[in-house]
Amino acid sequence: MPFVTTELLAALAEHARAHDLDAVLPASDSPHGFEPFCGFYAGRLHPALRAFLAGSGSAAHAFLRTLDRVRFMTPAELGINAADRRPYFLSVNSAGDLERARTLGGDTQ
């Protein structure tokens, strides 16, 4: 996710600590309504996540649905300007994704 900023990540972590939350993630237009791979997860979740993965669990969004103390922050709460059209949560998993990210980011190399 090359367009995620340190300020966005800091906002997630700060909110989690201030409200004693297990996880804080950005709300988005994704199929699940949030970004499971861009978020703050409390270290205390390790045993629950380990048990989830050892059982039948495999999807990050399914694990999050098992938690009680989760918050999804809106783009405005995270300081994402609506006029900024960068795909903040674009994942780079292939050469094509990398090329798209470079184009969107203005990288000509």
Domains of the chain (ranges, CATH numbers): 6-105 (3.90.550.10)
Q: Rounded distance, CA 10 to CA 7, Å?
A: 5
What is the pTM for the complete model shown? Answer: 0.82
Of 29, 28, 32, 26, the C-alpha closest to 13 is 26
Residue 10 pLDDT: 94
Of 42, 93, 32, the C-alpha closest to 69 is 42
Rounded average pLDDT per 10-residue block, the chain, 109 residues: 89 96 92 90 94 86 91 89 73 92 75
Of 7, 5, 25, 8, the C-alpha closest to 16 is 25
